[in-house]
Structure 1
Amino acid sequence: MSQVFEGYERQYCELSAILTKKCNSATILDGEQKKQKLSEIKAGLDDAEALIRKMDLEARSLPPNVKATLLAKLREYKSDLNNLKTEVKRITSGNVNQAARDELLESGMADANMVSADQRQRLMMSTERLNRSSDRIRDSRKTMLETEDLGVSILQDLHQQRQSLLHAHDTLHGVDDNISRSKKILTTMSRRMSRNKWIIGTIIVVLVLAILLVLYFKLAH
């Protein structure tokens, strides 16, 4: 998850809690004190809106899988901000009579604090679920990257083995050519040897005939 978004998120949650307390205290004030408190609340609402806009811009700049998670969380914060604005309008309208003030003093503040606490609890639970989802997404992405690295390593090994096989094939092809040339040379030598044997045999026969012929003439005379 984006650290920038988390920073804005913490600021908003703290500001929301402060504004809720101020709204509760403003309902029991009168005159200038009430006006001053409402002025502080409205300024805080402006700051809260600015934080909402910053979170929205940050969420939309992130990858789709993270953006969807953060936008879902952001809708909770926008709903919380709208509730605060409605409460401020109700306080500003001046329609709360003295009896309502007394009731708020006795039970209203406790109920409002309980509702606010419950809402913050729900927001925290939603945040925790979204954080777990983000962790699972990060783990899945890590596993995917590790698998991709393993695949690249296997492809590199296969490429090296292919190169080795091609080199061995070229070597065998060269040996085959050498064997073919050697075979041709041996065949040529064998033919020459056969021819030489015939020539030598012919010479020996001629010499023997010549010797016999010489002996014949000598013996005849």
Structure 2
Amino acid sequence: MSSETFERLKETVGSFVVDYKNRVSRKLKSAQTSNEESERLLAETERSIESAYRNLQGMEREVSVAPAEFRTMMNAKLRSLQRDVDTINREVKSVRTNQSIARGGGYPGSSSIYDPRADIATLEERQRQQVMFGTDVLNRASESVLRTQRVAAENEEIGVEILGELGTQREQLQRTSRKLDETKAELSKSRKLLNTMQRRVISNKLLLMGIILFEVIILLAVIYIKFIK
């Protein structure tokens, strides 16, 4: 996505282009427009063109520092607006020149119409700005690299701490596993002992029941011999 500054400048230039096409251009070409009104519109439009070219330069700066994946889209919007502004500038120059000729003020080429290209976009200025843009990009890239290095160092420290904690937890798990094995062995011994005790209890019960039954038989035999016979 493009920057907020780029979008704001784009909206400003776009509004100027739409206003010129829908309102100003028709008035300048209309025969009903007075000379005073035409002069006022030309002066306002020339000031607006100057401002539009400055805004386009601001958009160029934003494109130069934008992430590479967004530059193609941003450049397309920028070039489209530049073509529109250039077209408006040529039309205004043509109207201004025609008015000057009609008033006897000279021939095309003798007009002192504002030329934003000569005023704010000289070769030396553009080169200086490109160097500044490049320096700014390098500074931002350097800051980004430093931030990345700091984050990497912090992540490395966190990784070392995590490895240490994992090693400690591994030792604890190994000790717990050994204790569980020992507990399991103890439980197995206890289970065997309980089974043995249970068998002995059952055997004792059976033996006791046999003795009682034997004593009852003897008692019945004594009663039979003594009282019945």
TM-score range, shorter chain: 0.3 to 0.5
What is the TM-score normalised by the length of structure 1? 0.43
Structure of greater relative contact order (alpha carbons < 8 Å, 6+ residues apart): 1
The structure richer in helix per residue is 1
